[in-house]
Structure formats: structure tokens, C-alpha cells
Amino acid sequence: MTRKRPSVSRGRRRSAARLAAVQALYQLDVAGGGAESVVGEFNRYRLGGEAEGARLVEAEPELFGDLVLGVTSRRAEIDERLDAILSDELPLAKLELLIQAILRAGAYELLARQDIDPPLTISEYVDVANSFFVRRESTMVNGVLDKLAREIRPDGMGDRPHGERSEA
């Protein structure tokens, strides 16, 4: 008898896609290789697979692919925008590779995905940062992405006070 998998909400699939995209971007920075081959590898073996006997949440492959390929193709622009927000004492290149990947993915989503509300994007990448780090790093991710969103999509920030994390 085949066991039917319970359906997973689109929001959870998108959250899983963001986390996987950050992991793929990190992998590209550490091991090199082509973005398209990494996207293919993740789609075949990691998105919705198993880890240590537990079934992973199935990620939305379209969002995952868009994030990885989009960050890769627009990396110079994204890095320039992030460096303009970060301090001269701590530019993007001096941050840990994983924080760089989180910021790049969040920045790309803010720049390119007009269909996703900025507070939701910020909240999602703060959650990704919380998956790997303690509060200091997630607070930095929140502040940098919030400032970027206010610069490029101020209409999407609504009445949210500067620096306040959304609960989307």
C-alpha cells in the first residue's frame, strides 16, 4: 500500500526553497561549479528528499531555481547594493560566506520578485539566518534587508517602523 504524503502549504514550500537556495549559493561559493548544475543537483537529490531518515519539506522548485540563477546572474549588482548599505569597516566580502549567501538571496528577492511583499521576504531570510546563527546575525540580516527594501520598494513596506521584523 502506498502512503500518500500530506500536502504542504505553498508558504512552507517557498520557505524550504529559500533555505535550499541559500545552501546552494553557499555551495557555489565554497566548491565552485555552475549554477545550473547545482540547481539540477538540488532538484534531483535534495528538494523534498530525506535527511537522517526524516522526510524534508518539499521545496518549490521554481522559486528555488529563480533565486539561485537570479543571484548568480545579478551578483555584481546585488553586491554593490549590499556594500552601499554595509559599513566600510565590514563590507560584504568580509562577512561569513553563509551570511553573504543569505543577504544576496534576500536582496535578489527584493529586487526581482515584485510578487512577494518585502516584509515577508525580510522575515523569511531572518528565519533562514536563525537556522544557522544566533540573534546578532539575524538582526544584521533584518537591518540590511529592511534598509534595502526601503530604498527600492518603499511602497511595499507599509507602516512598518524601520527595523521592525514582520511576522508574516
What region does 95 belong to: left with phi over 0, alpha with psi -120 to 50, or beta? beta
> Residue holding cell 513596506?
157
One-letter amino acid of 153: R
pLDDT tens per residue across span 110-125: 999 999 999 999 999 9
Q: Of 42, 36, 47, whose CA–CA distance to 71 is shortest? A: 36
Domains and CATH numbers, the chain: 10-157 (1.10.940.10)
Helix (H, G, I), strand (E, B) or coil at 119: helix
| The three grid cell numbers given for residue 55, joined into one nine-digit string | 522526510
pTM as predicted: 0.84
Q: What is the average per-residue pLDDT within 94-123?
A: 96
